Amino acid sequence: MADTLLAVRNLKKYFPLRKGLFAPRAYNKAVDDVSFEIPKGSTLALVGESGSGKSTVGLMVLDLLEPTGGDILYNGQSFAERKGKDRLALRREMQVVFQDPYASLNARMNVRETVTEGMVVHRIGANAAEREERAAALLQQVGLPPSALDRYPHEFSGGQRQRIAIARALSVEPSFIVLDEPTSALDVSVQSQILNLLRRLQRDKGLTYLFITHNLGVVEYLADAVAVMEAGRIVERGTVDEIFDHTREEYTKNLLRSIPSLDPENRKLLLNAD
């Protein structure tokens, strides 16, 4: 068994619903007692419908949202034990790629600025020339030409922008990346390019992924383990084979039943239709 890189223990996030001195306390339990571990170099897929709390878990794991309760351990050390600079250093270890590459890149920054910004913050590279060299190498790794450095996000297609977002995430040499629906906004033929890239980067750099998605086809292809979330709780955890072939939960069964089949002679969704 490989070492655990990230462990989440009894994580909770309650959003207060009503405010006021005499209002009764009511909460939206967005995340309610969630626990899981991700071994180094592996991929955990967090699946569930919109509103199930999976993106909220992602934000807390990235230390971008304060949990109401519970603990997150990175490399065995609790977030709570880390203070000041020690805590900020986590930002270099953990990166994120969001769903919408149209919204997640700063439209006023060219690719050079976008990719080198994190290096400046974390003091990677001795000078601007060295950082630029590294940025060009990163672009090459994600399949973009060095000439892309001087261009702006609007000049690229959705798939190319997602490559830029991945290059930006890689620029600070993280060991852990949260992928929040990274291919949902992309066309099928472009999705396969990005999935291949993510798989290759994981293999070459030993990256660990938390893959947040509702696309079960992608989960089957890429994930090592799966956690199914419903209404803030993890209802089931297991390997891809365990979840997809031997699920015990009605909620998961319903999710799996809802995937359209790719066989028009064996339709799945419309059992009562003749």
Residues lying near other proteins in the complex (CB under 8 A) are found at 49-50, 157-160, 187-193, 195-196, 199-200, 214, 216-218, 220-222, 240, 244, 254-255, 257-265, 267-270, 273
Tokens found for residue 38 = 């991700």
Pick 104 or 202: Cβ nearer other proteins: 202
Q: Given the complex with other proteins, which of 124 and 195 has the nearer CB atom? A: 195
Interior angle at CA 239, CA 234 and CA 241, nearest 5 = 120
Between 87 and 267, name the residue whose CB sits nearer to other proteins: 267
Phi-psi map region of 37: left, alpha, beta (phi>0 left; psi -120 to 50 alpha): beta
Quote the CA–CA distance of 236 and 230 in Å, as a whole number: 9
Q: Which CB, 27 or 102, lies closer to other proteins?
A: 102
Shortest separation between residue 119's beta carbon and other proteins, angstroms: 29
Shortest separation between residue 227's beta carbon and other proteins, angstroms: 17
> Minimum distance between the CB of residue 261 and other proteins, rounded to whole angstroms?
6
Closest approach of other proteins to the CB of residue 189, in Å? 4
Residue 158 CB, nearest approach to other proteins (Å):
8
Sign of CA pseudo-dihedral 96, 237, 249, 253: positive
In the complex, minimum distance from the CB of residue 4 to other proteins, in angstroms, rounded to a whole number: 23
CA gap 253, 228 in Å, rounded: 11
Question: Closest CB to other proteins among 1 and 188?
Answer: 188
Closer to other proteins by Cβ: residue 208 or 252: 252
